[in-house]
Amino acid sequence: MLDIHWNTMSMGDSTEHTMPPTVGYASHPAEQKSSARNGGAYEIQALISELRRAIRDRPDATMIIDDGSVTVLRLSPEGPDVTAFVTPGRCALSIGSWHDDMQSLDMTVDYVKLALAGALRVRIDKIGGKTWQNALERRQDDGTWREESVLTYPRLNLFNRRKTTQYLQNASAP
């Protein structure tokens, strides 16, 4: 059974509203302006709707809906949590320790679906036990992995230290 935690969402005034379970994309200009005024509620609702469809066959999936973000908790012990952040005009994605801005809501939804299906993984490179690089990798049709995006953190004194790599990947649906 799908476990969804509903939180209330501030709509920019002093009231809070519980979001309805599904709503379509804000495609009409008046809806888009309204969406910008109310903190991106239409975008969040569209994201929730898409993600509910994406995980409906995963009884082990837990979705947490918060003000401006939706998180799907890890689907396997070695998998990462996947969080999408949506505000008017901006989408961002966090998969484990990797994060980046997305170009659109559609792209955000596509990446979340890929991450939940196990087609994306996060590679964490460490030197001396400290993370110096996070990379998002995508599985290719031939089974190899290709880097999509890399975050590098500055570190001093990286010489003569043990290098390790850890992978975070959700298992494919049963």
Q: What is the DSSP string of 47-60?
A: HHHHHHHHHTT-TT
Within a domain: 174: no
Are residues 66 and 97 part of one domain? yes
Average pLDDT, the chain: 76
* pLDDT tens digits along 70-109: 999 998 888 899 999 988 888 999 999 999 999 988 899 9
Are residues 80 and 18 part of one domain? yes
List the domain range (segments joined by +) for residue 112: 3-118
Q: How confident is the model at residue 11 (pLDDT cuts 50, 70, 90)?
A: very low
Which residues are bridge partners to 135 per DSSP?
123, 150
Which letter does DSSP use for residue 20 in this model? Answer: P
Are residues 30 and 109 part of one domain? yes
More confident site: 165 or 25? 165
